[in-house]
Structure 1
């Protein structure tokens, strides 16, 4: 009986362990993990946006089916903050590794569903419309 209960507990606990996040990445770890890559992010399994990470802490971001925005990033405490110089102001996140996935949590909203990297590519982000130069 004890063995059956232990097996059941271990079976149920395995998905929880798989969900654990590593510690927040610092700037050096984040740069090493992202530079030269274009990462597609999802929330709850639905596409959210795509970001291309370039040398010099430069990025190109687009919401799913949206226009591209050029920006930069920097470390502020435990957060990696993005500045697209728009009306939304700084966008600060903690980034974590969960197995092979890159997971991001928005500052002040740790209970919300995180962004999860769906796919990664060395190919640049393809932007539509004017003012998209990089």
Structure 2
């Protein structure tokens, strides 16, 4: 077990009335440790709540902001520290998506309230996302199931997305 001083916790010296009573000294030391842990936890919770409020205070990108930021560019997205996919944003709100496997899906996007929804040729169901501009680029939250996917902008390019075309053959 680490000594308390090396663990970054300095217990108050035991009052003279506690000297000679190991049980009371232990209760005093444990009480001081509990207070130190509680203070650290409170500090963590305060910081967490402050960050949550800041994130909530950030407004979603409007359709105009989204269009201005993305049109004519290809964005590469990550999720959980891994490459996720890329989307090329074309004129007239057309898009081309790939999971970076060389296969691409054509589609369009449109605003729906605060969300940006994508409709791809191969899927009849719209996929709606909220986009927030951060200091490191866009952050996108999948709103059809907010617990499932958060994407973040990893890179952007003026180059078109690489699409190998449909699979042909046997």
Give me the TM-score of the superposition, normalised by structure 1.
0.78
CA shift, 1:88, in A, is 5.5
The separation in 1 between residues aligned to 2:124 and 2:153, in whole angstroms, is 22
State the match for 1:116 in structure 2: 152
- 2:63 is aligned with 1:20: no
Flag the structure with higher strand content. 1
State the match for 1:38 in structure 2: 74
Flag the structure with higher helix content. 2
Q: Does the CA-based 8 Å contact 1:27-1:75 persist in structure 2?
A: yes
Q: Does the CA-based 8 Å contact 1:72-1:84 persist in structure 2?
A: yes
The separation in 1 between residues aligned to 2:132 and 2:123, in whole angstroms, is 27
Residues 1-80 of structure 1 mapped to structure 2, 5 A cutoff: 13=47, 17=51, 20=55, 22-80=58-116
The separation in 1 between residues aligned to 2:95 and 2:123, in whole angstroms, is 17
**Structure 1: runs of 5+ lacking an equivalent:** none
The separation in 2 between residues aligned to 1:87 and 1:36, in whole angstroms, is 24
Q: Which of the two has higher C-alpha Rg? A: 2
Structure 1 residue matching 2:92: 3-state secondary structure:
coil
Of 127, 149, 153, the match for 1:91: 127
**Structure 2: runs of 5+ lacking an equivalent:** 1-38
Question: Cα RMSD between the aligned structures?
Answer: 2.7
CA shift, 1:116, in A, is 0.4
Q: Does 1 or 2 have the higher relative contact order (CA < 8 Å, sep 6+)?
A: 1
